[in-house]
Amino acid sequence: MDKELYKIAAKACADVYLDNFDLGSTEYKLSIVKYKKIYIQVLAIAGTNEARDWLKNINPWSTNGIKAVAAMAAKEIKSGFMRELGCKLLVCGHSKAGATAIAYKKLFKADWCIAFAPARSLRYWMNRKMENTTLFIDPDDPVSKAGFIGFGHPKCKVIKAKNDHVGLNVKDHFMCNWIKFVNTIA
């Protein structure tokens, strides 16, 4: 994957909070964008933005090694849209939706997956290797650390932001910071 794809994913993940298709506690947005010389379909999923999402975030159950709430959300999204014929699919998400994007790619084989500050979503005993997947993680962000006892991140490319705080810092978690970060690495 390259920096242009990261920028597309960051913008889509920020935009989904403003305009989306609402499935209850899961929201997503589809778009078609030009990437290099082709058009790709982008499935952006919104992270925690409702009170009931917090309860779902701490659910310790899994389905076939994937965090149960992430797998369920991925299945709900899958049943709600059609892939564009001839378009590659980029699935991306932030926070709770990072876990959902990972689940979507694992279950339904998207071409790429990019997750910003994702919640951990895969059991350690399962095959966590994922091709064409990139995680953006801030070492002092608590979301990407939570759940480490039962769940891990996929084994994939990880791009880490600078650890610029002592302890944990929730402010680094928000998409506006990830957009700035992606633009600095470009």
pLDDT tens digits along 12-30: 999 998 887 666 668 889 9
Question: How confident is residue 10, by pLDDT bands cut at 50, 70 and 90?
Answer: very high
Cβ atoms of 8 and 36 within 8 Å: the answer is no
The pair of three-digit structure tokens given for residue 139, joined into one six-digit string: 């070492």
What global pTM score does this model have? 0.91
The pair of three-digit structure tokens given for residue 90, joined into one six-digit string: 């980029």
Which of the pair, 53 or 123, is modelled with greater confidence? Answer: 123
Q: Which of 98, 140, 141, 90 is nearest to 119 (CA)?
A: 98
Question: What are 53-81's pLDDT values in tens digits?
Answer: 555 556 677 889 999 999 999 999 998 88
Q: Which of 86, 91, 78 is nearest to 8 (CA)?
A: 91
Cβ atoms of 100 and 74 within 8 Å: the answer is yes
